[in-house]
Amino acid sequence: MIKNDLFLRALKGETVNRPPVWMMRQAGRYLPEFMELKNKYDFFTRCQTPELASEITVQPIRRYGMDAAILFSDILVVPQAMNIDVEMKAGVGPWVPDPIRKASDLDRVIVPDVNESLGYVMDAIKMTKEKLAGEIPLIGFAGSPWTLLCYCVEGQGSKNFAKAKELCYTDPKTAHELLERITQTTIQYLHAKVDAGVNAVQIFDSWGGLLSPEDYDEFSWRYIQPIVSALRSRVPVIVFGKGCWFALNKMAQSGASALGVDWTCSARNARYLSGGQITLQGNFDPSRLLSPPEDIKRMVTEMIDQFGKDRYIVNLGHGILPNIPVENAAAFVEAVKSYGQ
């Protein structure tokens, strides 16, 4: 039994006294205790060492007491498991030295045994569950197949992922084969995370908003839907598509328990587009956490009023930024915890 089950109750659409709160990338670079570990260990060492990943996961919980923890990891561990080399390059970010650009490149891409290749993630989940001691739920996550394809084909981060789009539009057969293998791996991966103990999963479609609605259907949603269908009977599934307001209605009918919303879509529009019956999560602009704490508290209260306290999870519209003062993050969480008092 989870002592604080507010997050899980909101996912079920139950009536609550206040909405739950957590922040995307809450275990991360804005925390001084995280920076201590960052200075000692490189990025993927932190991801691949269960003791470090579990410690980083609980750091923000100790400091702020959010209503849910999200496992510290990265979406790009999945391509790594699929035999696609991914590095984290200083000043560049994700770097794929040998990207997938043509059909023959797929010869080296495998659908792995995730318990073998990603067993360190499952170990981190088990260690984190011990540290949380049943206090709050733990969220597991994966990147959407389209978002992972973007990195695997482009080779690094990009504003428009033009090379990824080029593959999809000039050689859709190869693109769909890669997307299919990523989807198969992701379903296995999330099932293994549930087996290890996560209480909910979130799918991050960070680059879905770069596609037109028609292309989104073909190259992104077509692969997210099977993931939702495979997991929904086991745990609540949250789908977060940045810039994907146009797909909210389709997403709401997918069997997902909640939909993430970014800050470019108002609460009113999000409720309307999603049909008004599904739990929504979001959508505070991460940059707004640079505002004075008293302004943050006021804006968070207004945001909850606009979404309504039920069928709602307070979160950011994307991940927290590294330059956010710790007291501003505290103001965000405190505003939710004191809502209605």
- Residue 26 assigned ligand-binding role: yes
- Residue 318 assigned ligand-binding role: yes
- DSSP letters spanning 5-58: -HHHHHHTT---SS--B--TT-SSTT-HHHHHHHTTS-HHHHHH-HHHHHHHHH
DSSP state of 67: S
What H or E segment, with its residue span, contains residue 237?
A: strand 237-241
- Residue 91 assigned ligand-binding role: no
- Residue 151 assigned ligand-binding role: yes
- Residue 74 assigned ligand-binding role: yes
Per the listing, tokens 């990891």 go with: 73
**How many other C-beta atoms can be found within 10 angstroms of the C-beta atom of residue 68?**
27
Q: Between the CA of residue 66 and those of 88, 170, 226, 335, 336, what are the distances in Å? A: 28, 45, 30, 12, 10
Three-class DSSP category at 53: helix
- Residue 155 assigned ligand-binding role: no
For the chain, count helices (H), then strands (E): 16, 9
- Residue 27 assigned ligand-binding role: yes
Q: Between the CA of residue 197 and those of 128, 137, 143, what are the distances in Å? A: 9, 9, 19
**How many other C-beta atoms can be found within 10 angstroms of the C-beta atom of residue 207?**
26
What φ, ψ does residue 109 adopt, rounded to 5°? Answer: -95, 120
Task: List the binding residues for substrate.
Answer: 25-29, 44, 74, 151, 206, 318
Task: List the binding residues.
Answer: 25-29, 44, 74, 151, 206, 318
